[in-house]
Protein backbone atom coordinates (compact mmCIF):
# COMPACT_ATOMS: atom_id res chain seq x y z
CA UNK A 1 0.00 0.00 0.00
CA UNK A 2 1.06 3.57 -0.69
CA UNK A 3 -0.17 6.15 1.81
CA UNK A 4 -0.16 9.94 1.69
CA UNK A 5 0.51 10.57 -2.00
CA UNK A 6 -0.05 14.24 -2.97
CA UNK A 7 -2.43 14.68 -5.90
CA UNK A 8 -2.55 18.50 -5.80
CA UNK A 9 -0.53 21.36 -4.38
CA UNK A 10 -1.22 22.40 -0.77
CA UNK A 11 -4.26 24.74 -0.85
CA UNK A 12 -2.68 27.28 1.47
CA UNK A 13 -1.92 31.00 1.28
CA UNK A 14 -3.32 32.48 -1.91
CA UNK A 15 -4.51 28.99 -2.94
CA UNK A 16 -6.96 28.84 -0.03
CA UNK A 17 -10.55 28.91 -1.40
CA UNK A 18 -9.17 28.38 -4.90
CA UNK A 19 -9.54 25.38 -7.24
CA UNK A 20 -6.75 22.81 -6.83
CA UNK A 21 -3.58 23.05 -8.89
CA UNK A 22 -1.22 20.24 -9.85
CA UNK A 23 1.11 18.91 -7.19
CA UNK A 24 4.77 19.81 -7.71
CA UNK A 25 7.00 16.81 -8.50
CA UNK A 26 9.29 15.48 -5.80
CA UNK A 27 12.88 14.44 -6.24
CA UNK A 28 14.43 11.25 -4.95
CA UNK A 29 12.60 8.61 -2.93
CA UNK A 30 9.34 9.47 -1.19
CA UNK A 31 8.24 7.39 1.78
CA UNK A 32 4.56 6.45 1.56
CA UNK A 33 4.19 4.46 4.75
CA UNK A 34 1.97 6.74 6.83
CA UNK A 35 -1.24 8.67 6.33
CA UNK A 36 -1.10 12.37 5.52
CA UNK A 37 -3.03 14.80 7.74
CA UNK A 38 -6.76 15.08 7.14
CA UNK A 39 -8.38 18.30 5.97
CA UNK A 40 -9.48 20.76 8.70
CA UNK A 41 -12.84 19.85 10.17
CA UNK A 42 -15.00 19.84 13.25
CA UNK A 43 -15.75 16.32 14.45
CA UNK A 44 -19.23 15.78 15.93
CA UNK A 45 -19.25 15.64 19.69
CA UNK A 46 -19.56 12.19 21.21
CA UNK A 47 -22.36 12.48 23.74
CA UNK A 48 -23.97 9.97 26.01
CA UNK A 49 -27.40 9.19 24.67
CA UNK A 50 -30.19 6.69 24.46
CA UNK A 51 -29.57 3.14 23.17
CA UNK A 52 -30.55 4.02 19.56
CA UNK A 53 -27.53 6.33 19.36
CA UNK A 54 -25.01 3.85 20.77
CA UNK A 55 -23.98 2.59 17.33
CA UNK A 56 -23.27 6.15 16.25
CA UNK A 57 -21.25 6.78 19.40
CA UNK A 58 -19.17 3.66 18.79
CA UNK A 59 -18.59 4.66 15.18
CA UNK A 60 -17.38 8.12 16.19
CA UNK A 61 -15.12 6.60 18.84
CA UNK A 62 -13.55 4.29 16.24
CA UNK A 63 -13.03 6.94 13.58
CA UNK A 64 -11.85 9.80 15.78
CA UNK A 65 -8.20 8.63 16.12
CA UNK A 66 -7.83 8.73 12.32
CA UNK A 67 -8.89 12.39 12.28
CA UNK A 68 -6.63 13.70 15.05
CA UNK A 69 -3.90 15.16 12.82
CA UNK A 70 -5.18 17.85 10.47
CA UNK A 71 -3.67 20.46 8.19
CA UNK A 72 -4.69 22.66 5.29
CA UNK A 73 -1.99 20.78 3.39
CA UNK A 74 -4.28 17.78 3.03
CA UNK A 75 -4.81 16.92 -0.63
CA UNK A 76 -3.49 13.37 -0.53
CA UNK A 77 -4.69 9.92 -1.53
CA UNK A 78 -3.96 6.36 -0.43
CA UNK A 79 -3.55 3.39 -2.76
CA UNK A 80 -4.05 -0.26 -1.79
CA UNK A 81 -2.62 -2.71 -4.33
CA UNK A 82 -3.44 -6.45 -4.34
CA UNK A 83 -0.56 -8.89 -4.42
CA UNK A 84 0.09 -10.75 -7.65
CA UNK A 85 3.25 -12.72 -8.43
CA UNK A 86 2.92 -12.27 -12.16
CA UNK A 87 1.61 -8.95 -13.48
CA UNK A 88 0.59 -9.52 -17.09
CA UNK A 89 -2.69 -7.66 -16.65
CA UNK A 90 -3.40 -4.30 -15.08
CA UNK A 91 -5.66 -4.04 -12.04
CA UNK A 92 -9.04 -2.32 -12.30
CA UNK A 93 -9.24 0.70 -9.99
CA UNK A 94 -11.89 1.46 -7.36
CA UNK A 95 -11.90 5.03 -6.00
CA UNK A 96 -13.82 5.57 -2.76
CA UNK A 97 -15.29 8.96 -1.81
CA UNK A 98 -16.08 9.13 1.90
CA UNK A 99 -19.33 10.45 3.34
CA UNK A 100 -20.33 11.69 6.83
CA UNK A 101 -21.52 15.07 5.48
CA UNK A 102 -19.54 17.66 3.56
CA UNK A 103 -17.98 18.97 6.76
CA UNK A 104 -15.94 16.15 8.30
CA UNK A 105 -14.26 12.74 7.85
CA UNK A 106 -11.49 11.54 5.55
CA UNK A 107 -10.44 8.72 3.29
CA UNK A 108 -7.81 7.62 5.83
CA UNK A 109 -10.07 5.48 8.09
CA UNK A 110 -11.19 3.30 5.18
CA UNK A 111 -8.72 0.43 4.98
CA UNK A 112 -8.74 -0.86 1.42
CA UNK A 113 -6.50 -3.89 1.96
CA UNK A 114 -9.19 -6.55 2.34
CA UNK A 115 -11.24 -5.27 -0.59
CA UNK A 116 -8.11 -5.07 -2.73
CA UNK A 117 -7.04 -8.60 -1.80
CA UNK A 118 -10.37 -10.37 -2.22
CA UNK A 119 -11.64 -8.26 -5.09
CA UNK A 120 -8.35 -8.27 -6.99
CA UNK A 121 -8.82 -4.55 -7.50
CA UNK A 122 -6.71 -1.51 -6.72
CA UNK A 123 -8.45 0.62 -4.06
CA UNK A 124 -7.89 4.37 -3.74
CA UNK A 125 -9.17 6.56 -0.89
CA UNK A 126 -9.10 10.35 -1.11
CA UNK A 127 -8.88 13.32 1.23
CA UNK A 128 -10.55 16.51 -0.02
CA UNK A 129 -11.37 19.90 1.44
CA UNK A 130 -14.42 20.11 3.68
CA UNK A 131 -16.69 22.65 5.32
CA UNK A 132 -15.91 26.33 4.87
CA UNK A 133 -12.58 25.63 3.14
CA UNK A 134 -14.06 23.11 0.73
CA UNK A 135 -17.58 24.21 -0.07
CA UNK A 136 -18.16 27.83 0.88
CA UNK A 137 -18.66 30.20 -2.02
CA UNK A 138 -15.70 32.51 -1.24
CA UNK A 139 -17.19 35.66 -2.75
CA UNK A 140 -20.59 37.29 -3.19
CA UNK A 141 -19.89 37.96 -6.88
CA UNK A 142 -21.51 35.79 -9.52
CA UNK A 143 -18.32 34.54 -11.19
CA UNK A 144 -16.90 32.87 -8.05
CA UNK A 145 -18.55 29.53 -7.39
CA UNK A 146 -16.99 27.40 -4.67
CA UNK A 147 -17.35 23.61 -5.07
CA UNK A 148 -13.63 23.25 -4.33
CA UNK A 149 -14.17 20.00 -2.44
CA UNK A 150 -15.66 18.50 -5.60
CA UNK A 151 -12.88 19.98 -7.71
CA UNK A 152 -10.38 18.30 -5.37
CA UNK A 153 -12.03 14.96 -6.16
CA UNK A 154 -11.78 15.78 -9.86
CA UNK A 155 -8.07 16.56 -9.42
CA UNK A 156 -7.57 13.21 -7.67
CA UNK A 157 -9.24 11.42 -10.58
CA UNK A 158 -7.00 13.28 -13.02
CA UNK A 159 -3.93 12.24 -11.01
CA UNK A 160 -5.12 8.64 -11.10
CA UNK A 161 -5.62 8.78 -14.86
CA UNK A 162 -2.14 10.22 -15.34
CA UNK A 163 -0.22 8.04 -12.88
CA UNK A 164 -2.02 4.84 -11.85
CA UNK A 165 -0.57 2.85 -14.74
CA UNK A 166 2.88 3.24 -13.15
CA UNK A 167 1.56 1.13 -10.25
CA UNK A 168 0.02 -1.44 -12.62
CA UNK A 169 -3.46 0.06 -12.43
CA UNK A 170 -5.73 0.37 -15.44
CA UNK A 171 -6.62 4.04 -16.12
CA UNK A 172 -9.36 2.86 -18.48
CA UNK A 173 -11.15 0.79 -15.83
CA UNK A 174 -11.85 3.21 -12.99
CA UNK A 175 -14.96 2.81 -10.82
CA UNK A 176 -16.00 5.69 -8.57
CA UNK A 177 -17.84 4.71 -5.37
CA UNK A 178 -19.28 6.85 -2.59
CA UNK A 179 -21.41 6.52 0.52
CA UNK A 180 -23.91 9.08 1.87
CA UNK A 181 -22.69 12.57 0.97
CA UNK A 182 -19.87 10.79 -0.87
CA UNK A 183 -22.49 9.14 -3.09
CA UNK A 184 -23.92 12.59 -3.81
CA UNK A 185 -20.42 13.73 -4.81
CA UNK A 186 -20.10 10.76 -7.14
CA UNK A 187 -23.47 11.62 -8.66
CA UNK A 188 -22.39 15.23 -9.26
CA UNK A 189 -19.21 13.97 -10.91
CA UNK A 190 -21.29 11.69 -13.12
CA UNK A 191 -23.39 14.65 -14.25
CA UNK A 192 -20.53 17.11 -14.69
CA UNK A 193 -19.43 17.78 -18.28
CA UNK A 194 -15.81 18.27 -17.21
CA UNK A 195 -15.30 14.83 -15.66
CA UNK A 196 -15.57 13.02 -18.98
CA UNK A 197 -13.10 10.15 -19.33
CA UNK A 198 -11.85 10.23 -15.74
CA UNK A 199 -13.95 7.26 -14.59
CA UNK A 200 -16.06 4.62 -16.31
CA UNK A 201 -18.47 3.19 -13.73
CA UNK A 202 -20.08 4.48 -10.56
CA UNK A 203 -21.54 3.02 -7.37
CA UNK A 204 -23.85 5.18 -5.24
CA UNK A 205 -24.53 3.89 -1.74
CA UNK A 206 -27.25 5.57 0.37
CA UNK A 207 -27.10 8.92 -1.38
CA UNK A 208 -27.51 10.87 -4.61
CA UNK A 209 -27.46 14.40 -5.98
CA UNK A 210 -31.27 14.38 -5.83
CA UNK A 211 -31.31 14.31 -2.03
CA UNK A 212 -32.44 17.52 -0.32
CA UNK A 213 -29.25 17.42 1.75
CA UNK A 214 -26.96 17.06 -1.27
CA UNK A 215 -26.82 20.75 -2.16
CA UNK A 216 -26.61 24.25 -0.72
CA UNK A 217 -29.51 26.26 -2.11
CA UNK A 218 -28.54 29.80 -1.11
CA UNK A 219 -24.76 29.86 -0.72
CA UNK A 220 -24.42 33.64 -0.56
CA UNK A 221 -26.19 33.91 2.80
CA UNK A 222 -23.63 31.57 4.35
CA UNK A 223 -20.74 33.44 2.71
CA UNK A 224 -22.03 36.61 4.35
CA UNK A 225 -22.23 34.89 7.73
CA UNK A 226 -18.64 33.65 7.51
CA UNK A 227 -17.26 36.97 6.24
CA UNK A 228 -18.99 38.96 8.96
CA UNK A 229 -17.89 36.51 11.66
CA UNK A 230 -14.28 36.90 10.56
CA UNK A 231 -14.41 40.67 10.16
CA UNK A 232 -14.09 40.67 6.36
CA UNK A 233 -16.19 43.25 4.52
CA UNK A 234 -18.53 41.31 2.16
CA UNK A 235 -18.93 44.34 -0.11
CA UNK A 236 -15.18 44.75 -0.58
CA UNK A 237 -13.44 43.37 -3.65
CA UNK A 238 -10.71 42.21 -1.26
CA UNK A 239 -13.04 39.98 0.77
CA UNK A 240 -11.48 36.73 -0.43
CA UNK A 241 -7.97 38.06 0.25
CA UNK A 242 -9.13 38.92 3.76
CA UNK A 243 -10.46 35.38 4.22
CA UNK A 244 -7.25 33.87 2.86
CA UNK A 245 -5.23 35.75 5.45
CA UNK A 246 -7.28 34.67 8.46
CA UNK A 247 -5.75 32.06 10.79
CA UNK A 248 -7.21 28.59 10.44
CA UNK A 249 -8.08 28.64 14.13
CA UNK A 250 -10.38 31.63 13.56
CA UNK A 251 -12.09 29.96 10.61
CA UNK A 252 -12.74 26.82 12.64
CA UNK A 253 -14.46 28.88 15.33
CA UNK A 254 -17.11 30.23 12.95
CA UNK A 255 -20.61 29.03 13.80
CA UNK A 256 -22.95 29.01 10.80
CA UNK A 257 -26.67 29.39 11.44
CA UNK A 258 -28.88 27.30 9.17
CA UNK A 259 -32.41 26.00 9.29
CA UNK A 260 -32.87 22.42 10.43
CA UNK A 261 -32.10 19.84 7.73
CA UNK A 262 -30.46 22.45 5.49
CA UNK A 263 -26.95 21.95 4.13
CA UNK A 264 -25.11 25.26 4.59
CA UNK A 265 -21.82 24.00 3.16
CA UNK A 266 -22.15 21.69 0.20
CA UNK A 267 -22.15 21.58 -3.61
CA UNK A 268 -23.89 24.39 -5.48
CA UNK A 269 -25.30 24.64 -8.99
CA UNK A 270 -22.90 27.09 -10.60
CA UNK A 271 -20.31 27.42 -13.32
CA UNK A 272 -19.17 24.75 -15.75
CA UNK A 273 -18.81 22.04 -13.11
CA UNK A 274 -22.51 21.84 -12.10
CA UNK A 275 -24.20 23.94 -14.80
CA UNK A 276 -27.79 22.89 -14.02
CA UNK A 277 -29.95 21.17 -11.43
CA UNK A 278 -29.21 17.42 -11.26
CA UNK A 279 -32.84 16.46 -11.92
CA UNK A 280 -32.89 18.63 -15.03
CA UNK A 281 -29.65 17.10 -16.31
CA UNK A 282 -30.96 13.57 -15.76
CA UNK A 283 -34.18 14.43 -17.54
CA UNK A 284 -32.35 15.99 -20.49
CA UNK A 285 -29.96 13.03 -20.80
CA UNK A 286 -31.99 9.94 -19.83
CA UNK A 287 -29.26 7.52 -20.97
CA UNK A 288 -26.54 9.25 -18.98
CA UNK A 289 -26.77 6.81 -16.08
CA UNK A 290 -27.34 3.64 -18.10
- pLDDT tens, residue by residue, 221-237: 999 999 999 999 988 88
88 burial level (CB within 10 Å; 0-12, 13-18, 19+): exposed
In this prediction, residue 46 has a pLDDT band, given cuts at 50, 70 and 90, of low
Determine the Cα–Cα distance for residues 26 and 219; give it in Å rounded to an integer.
37
Every domain of the chain and the residues it spans: 2-284
CATH class given for the domain over 2-284 = alpha beta
Q: What are φ and ψ of residue 78, in 5° steps?
A: -125, 140
Maximal CA-CA distance, the chain: 62
Determine the Cα–Cα distance for residues 244 and 221; give it in Å rounded to an integer.
19
Q: Between the CA of residue 90 and those of 82, 83, 93, 121, 202, what are the distances in Å?
A: 11, 12, 9, 9, 19
CB contact set of 114 (below 8 Å; sequence gap of 6+): none
In this prediction, residue 34 has a pLDDT band, given cuts at 50, 70 and 90, of very high
pLDDT of residue 88: 76
What pTM does this model have? 0.95
pLDDT tens digit sequence for 170-222: 999 999 999 999 999 999 999 999 999 999 999 999 999 999 999 999 999 99
Determine the Cα–Cα distance for residues 241 and 281; give it in Å rounded to an integer.
34
Bridge partners, residue 77, by sequence: 5, 126
Residue 84 pLDDT > 90, yes or no? Answer: no
Mean pLDDT of the chain, nearest integer: 92
Instruction: Find the mean pLDDT for residues 3-27.
Output: 96
Residue 232, Cβ neighbours under 10 Å: how many?
Answer: 19
Instruction: Find the mean pLDDT for residues 61-90.
Output: 91
Determine the Cα–Cα distance for residues 189 and 192; give it in Å rounded to an integer.
5
- Crossing angle of helices 148-163 and 181-191, in 10° steps, is 70
Q: What number of residues does the chain have?
A: 290
Determine the Cα–Cα distance for residues 160 and 124; give it in Å rounded to an integer.
9
Residue 42 pLDDT > 80, yes or no? Answer: yes
Amino acid sequence: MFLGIPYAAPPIGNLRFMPPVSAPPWSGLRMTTRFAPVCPQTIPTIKKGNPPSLARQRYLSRIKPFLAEESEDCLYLNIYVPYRENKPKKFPVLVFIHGDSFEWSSGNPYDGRILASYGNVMVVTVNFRLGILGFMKPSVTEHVYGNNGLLDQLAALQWIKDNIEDLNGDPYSVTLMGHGSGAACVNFLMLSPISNGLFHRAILMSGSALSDSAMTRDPTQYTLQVAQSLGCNPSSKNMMTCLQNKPLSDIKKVQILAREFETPLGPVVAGSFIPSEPARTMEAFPNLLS
